[in-house]
């Protein structure tokens, strides 16, 4: 985005408008700005008129005061804002949340959404990508009904995932043979590689072993179909709904529809998986219908020197960026240290 050049007076006026609106959620008039700047109301009105023409502020229909636009917030973040330092109390709270957590990676990522929400007082989100190339230490298949199988997957890093799989026919008698084949012949391979190896074998084997391999291949195909949807954890929607912008029934309903679906937020974060560092989407920048008055701040977290997923917060566009951006980044760094500590 190309930001229009503003004078020092215009920049200072924009800062005051943004600061006031972040604190109060109330449009600010020229008289309030003039008192803060020591300029006449007429001069400030001219400056505000220029800022509005540049697209950095606007005025609601019911008010003579001004509020920032998405472009105004972007101008502030990229050119005017100074980040606040993380205070010691916040740092201690973040560190305490990640102490002694050895319940597996997925549980830690899920907890992170709660940590983000609780500490930032915004809606916390954490994306846990599920990689088709991930290897598995063990796969257990347990019959829990005539055509239902409990699948338990254990990765070399200790991640345990389980889900229920429906089968076309009853496999109770064959499950032990399928489980033994997977864990003895394909130990340490990803499901994609196991599938490819099984397809090779089924063409060369005969009789009963061929049937077991064919059934195993069908089971692996079903697991692949069920297993690899990226998981998005979201906590603290009440923080967003408590903001003045979302008090109306229509605004609240549109936000809740997004949260119930979650796919839009998940796709947005998935698009940034290869990106390192913090990304900020303000209002209409993220193209999420129903969230035009929201911003999304995300940061990547890593495992073994690679970006593993993303975490972040959703809040009103008038969120306190100078405080919350460093805080989100600090939580991502703490999560990265915690995850890498699992491999030591």
CA 73 – CA 75 distance, rounded (Å):
5
Q: What does residue 167 show for φ and ψ, rounded to 5 degrees?
A: -115, 155
Task: Give the C-alpha separation, 270 to 130, whole Å.
Answer: 11
* Residue, of 208 and 238, whose pLDDT is higher: 238
Say whether pLDDT at 326 is over 90. Answer: yes
Q: What is the DSSP string of 257-270?
A: HHHHH-HHHHHHHH
CB 186 within 8 A of CB 223: no
With CA atoms as reference, report the closest residue to 312 among 281, 339, 291, 344.
281
* Residue bearing the bigger pLDDT, 281 or 223: 281
Q: Are 116 and 234 in contact (CB under 8 A)?
A: no
pLDDT at 252: 78
Mean pLDDT computed over 113-135: 85
Please provide the average confidence, as pLDDT, over all residues in the chain.
Answer: 84
**Neighbour order of strands in the sheet with 306-316:** 231-235, 123-128, 306-316, 294-303, 278-282
Q: What is the pLDDT of residue 235?
A: 93
Question: What is the structure's pLDDT at 120?
Answer: 96
pTM of the model: 0.75
Check pLDDT > 80 for residue 293.
yes
Q: Which domains does the chain have, with CATH numbers?
A: 8-80 (1.10.10.10), 88-129+230-341 (3.30.450.40), 138-227 (3.30.390)
Q: What angle do CA 304, 308, 338 make, to 5 degrees?
A: 60
| Weakest mean pLDDT among 46-55, 143-152, 208-217, 233-242 | 208-217
pLDDT at 312: 96
User: Which H helix or E strand runs over 191?
Assistant: helix 191-202
CA dihedral 112, 278, 128, 327 (to 10 degrees): 0
Q: How far from 292 is each of 56, 81, 249, 258, 287, CA to CA, in Å? A: 16, 22, 15, 11, 8
| C-beta of residue 122 within 8 angstroms of C-beta of residue 324 | yes
Angle at 273 between CA 284 and CA 86, to 5 degrees: 75
Nearest to 266 by CA among 307, 306, 226, 311: 311
More confident residue, 93 or 162: 93
Q: Per-residue pLDDT for 92 more than 70?
A: yes
* Angle in degrees, CA 284, 129, 286, rounded to 5: 5
Structure confidence at residue 263 as a pLDDT band (50, 70, 90): confident
Mean pLDDT along residues 315-322: 94
Report how far apart, in Å, the C-alpha atoms of 61 and of each of 16, 71, 312 are: 21, 19, 33
d(CA 315, CA 238) in angstroms, rounded, equals 11
- The pLDDT of 272-276, averaged and rounded, is 82
Per-residue pLDDT of 165-197, as tens digits, reads: 777 777 767 788 888 888 888 887 877 788 888
Question: In which band, very low, low, confident or very high, does the pLDDT at 1 lie, cut at 50, 70 and 90?
Answer: low
Residue 163 exposure: Cα atoms within 13 Å on the Cβ side = 12
pLDDT tens digits for range 4-59: 667 889 999 999 999 999 999 999 999 999 999 899 989 999 999 999 999 999 98
Mean pLDDT throughout 260-288?
85
For residue 3, name the pLDDT band (cuts at 50, 70, 90): low
Q: Indicate if the pLDDT at residue 289 is higher than 80.
A: no
- Distance between CA 35 and CA 37 in Å, rounded? 6
pLDDT at 227 over 60: no
d(Cα 301, Cα 222) in Å, to the nearest integer? 30
């Amino acid at each position: 985005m190309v930001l229009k050049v503003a004078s020092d007076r215009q920049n200072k006026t924009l800062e005051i408008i943004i600061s006031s609106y972040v604190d109060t959620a109330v449009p600010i008039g020229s008289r309030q700005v003039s008192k803060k700047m020591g300029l006449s109301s007429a001069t400030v009105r001219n400056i505000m008129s220029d800022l509005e023409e540049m697209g950095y502020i606007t005025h609601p229909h019911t008010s003579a005061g001004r509020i920032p636009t998405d472009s105004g917030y972007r101008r502030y973040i990229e050119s005017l804002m100074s980040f606040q330092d993380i205070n010691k109390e916040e740092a201690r709270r973040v560190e305490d949340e990640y102490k002694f957590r050895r319940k597996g990676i997925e549980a830690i990522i899920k907890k992170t959404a709660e940590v983000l929400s609780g500490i930032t007082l915004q809606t916390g989100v954490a994306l846990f990508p599920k990689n088709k190339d991930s290897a598995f230490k063990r796969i257990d298949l347990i019959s829990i009904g005539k055509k239902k199988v409990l699948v338990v997957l254990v990765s070399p890093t200790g991640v345990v995932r389980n889900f229920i799989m429906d089968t076309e026919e009853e496999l109770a008698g064959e499950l032990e043979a399928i489980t033994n084949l997977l864990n003895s012949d394909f130990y340490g391979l990803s499901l994609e590689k196991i599938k490819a190896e099984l397809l090779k074998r089924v063409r060369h084997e005969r009789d009963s072993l061929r049937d077991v391999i064919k059934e195993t291949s069908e089971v692996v195909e079903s697991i692949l179909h069920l297993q690899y949807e990226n998981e998005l954890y979201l906590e603290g929607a009440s923080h967003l709904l408590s903001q003045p912008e979302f008090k109306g029934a229509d605004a609240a309903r549109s936000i809740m529809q997004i949260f119930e679906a979650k796919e839009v937020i998940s796709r947005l974060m998935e698009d940034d998986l290869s990106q390192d560092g913090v990304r900020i989407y303000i209002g209409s920048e993220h193209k999420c219908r129903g969230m035009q008055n929201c911003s999304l701040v995300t940061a990547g977290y890593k495992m073994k020197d690679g970006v593993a997923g993303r975490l972040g917060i959703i809040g009103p566009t008038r969120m306190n960026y100078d405080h919350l951006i460093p805080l989100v980044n600090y939580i991502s760094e703490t999560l990265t240290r915690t995850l890498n500590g699992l491999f030591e």
